[in-house]
Amino acid sequence: MALTTISSWKSFGGNLSVYDHVSPLLGCPMRFAVYTPPQAADGPVPVLWYLSGLTCSWANVMEKSGLQRAAAKYGVMVIAPDTSPRGEGVADDDAYDLGQGAGFYLTATELPWSTHYRMDQYITDELPALVGEHVPGADMGRQGIFGHSMGGHGAIMLHLKHPDRYRTCSAFSPITSPARVPWGQKAFEAYLGPVSIAWEQYDSTELVKERQSKATILVDTGTADSFLERELKPEIFIDACERSGQRLEYRMREGYGHDYYFIATFMDDHIEHHALALMD
């Protein structure tokens, strides 16, 4: 399992590299990007995992969020994986919200998806092992996780399941109750089958009832987000966190949408949130 460097650019004194590798777990080639800040030249730096939303690849956040500025300021590495297995041999669907680009960070149990769709294991096991071995400067003892929309779901869900691994967590416009909204229901039914206990294992609102992390989860969501009422439903997760004692800072941002202009506006806050906690 080695990495092939596809592209490399200097950015804010650090380096953005895009890598290809073969994934035995997913059964296909995969691509991801790593922003390494200049501080990594002097020793290992904290690692932030950014999980993207529906249809996205590594490129959206690396091209459009401006994260490199804050990552270089605070000295953190940011890794952006893809959002699903991909390629000709991988099951797909014509819809933008199912199949390739829509892996929902879970292990599918239903055919045809169960052959390749294991994005939670890819994010938590296979890819970190590869990064730890082959990407210089990554301190795998200090990891945080964040994401957008479907990737916000992935970040919060994986943080709650692995709080010692991902010590910090934040999200932009996350899907926090996938089992109760159309995007999540469609994906869970396809990947996991009809409603069952399996759904709860990937639903942050259900998870937080049983297990709370020591971290404060930071969330920003725009009031003009066109998916707010139908897919995001912040109040359900906010209520569950209050009841369970999970610390949560959920900020509604007046007039902002679901887009990368919104994410870019608040990216510095999120990088700082992780960096300050991971510097300890």
- Reply yes or no on whether 21 is catalytic: no
Nearer to a copy of itself, 113 or 256 (CB): 256
- Reply yes or no on whether 258 is catalytic: yes
Here the tokens at position 196 are 């069952």
Here the tokens at position 159 are 């943080």
Element at 8 (helix H, strand E): strand 4-11
Q: Which of 2, 22, 63, 235 binds a copy of itself (CB under 8 A)?
A: 63
Q: Which of 93, 189, 259, 272 binds a copy of itself (CB under 8 A)?
A: 259
Which one from 52, 65, 149, 204 is the annotated catalytic residue?
149
Residue corresponding to tokens 């590869």: 130
User: Which backbone phi and psi does 16 adopt, to 5 degrees?
Assistant: -105, 120
Q: Is 260 in the site for a copy of itself (CB under 8 A)?
A: yes
Smallest distance from a copy of itself to CB 136, Å: 17
Q: How many CB atoms lie within 10 A of CB 112?
A: 14
Q: Which of 44, 112, 163, 257 binds a copy of itself (CB under 8 A)?
A: 257
d(CA 82, CA 19): 11
Give bridge partners of residue 148 from the DSSP assignment: 172
Q: Is 11 in the site for a copy of itself (CB under 8 A)?
A: yes
d(CA 235, CA 189): 24
Smallest distance from a copy of itself to CB 200, Å: 35
Element at 92 (helix H, strand E): none
Smallest distance from a copy of itself to CB 72, Å: 9
Q: Is 96 in the site for a copy of itself (CB under 8 A)?
A: no
Nearby residues of 259 by Cβ (< 8 Å), 6 or more positions away: none
**Residues known to be catalytic:** 149, 225, 258
Binding site for a copy of itself (CB under 8 A): 9-13, 16, 63-64, 66, 68-69, 222, 224, 255-257, 259-262, 264-265
